[in-house]
Amino acid sequence: MIANQEQLSDMQLEDLLLSGARGLHAQTPTIRAEQVVRIVSTPARRLSTLDSLLSCARELSRRRRIRTMQQEATDMTSPDTASRFLIEHYDDRSYESFLVLFVDAQHRLIAAEEMFRGTLTQTSVYPREVVKRALELNAAALLFSHNHPSGVAEPSRADEFLTTTLKSALALVDVRVLDHIVVAGDRTTSFAERGLL
């Protein structure tokens, strides 16, 4: 498996795919299929290479889907629009991460940034960094999100406390918090819909 493939650029991922695909290049589809079967049926080292190539392809595909959604998402105040975007973002994440969606006064997406990355069960979030980035991007409002790799989309008391802390810090610089959405697989829980904001 390629370590930290999420930190590689699109070009680096494409280069890895192309160099790996050269080994599968053949004149006819029949020969190419035979090469794939031969690679899959050989020792684990080659199977690991094929897994790595497939993993690169999945990561590139995920990035392109997110870019498309960013371009199409005009109003991120809709929990449904935000949830679809976030489910796509967190697809296949095995660690917890904290994502911030920065929006303008019309609630159009300016940027979506994974600001903090944690472990399987927790992430450290620093309000100062969130406020600083919101000011740099001149955002009028923010939506927060984090995932629960455990598969349970229920917010914890710590999640509620963090949201309150962030909301208070951002209010000092006149930036509103629109929502905090917890994502677990294809399930989401919106703080706004639950009246927790």
Residues 6+ apart with CB under 8 A from 22: none
| Helical axes 29-40 vs 44-72, angle rounded to 10° | 110
| Mean pLDDT rounded to a whole number for the chain | 77
Greater pLDDT, 130 or 2: 130
Residues 6+ apart with CB under 8 A from 97: 90, 114, 116, 117, 118, 123, 146, 147
Mean pLDDT across 67-89: 69
Where do the CATH 3.40.140.10 domains begin and end in the chain? 73-194
Percent of the chain with pLDDT over 90: 35
In words, the CATH class of domain 73-194 is alpha beta
Answer whether 197's CB lies under 8 Å from 180's CB: yes
Q: What is the pLDDT of residues 31-73, one digit of tens each?
A: 545 555 554 455 554 546 666 777 777 777 766 766 665 565 5
Classify each residue of 94-120 as buried b or exposed e, where b means 16 or more C-beta atoms within 10 Å of its C-beta: eebbbbbbbbeeebebbebebebebee
Greater pLDDT, 172 or 64: 172
Residue entry with tokens 């080292």: 45
Give the global pTM.
Answer: 0.66
Q: Please give the pLDDT value at position 107.
A: 84
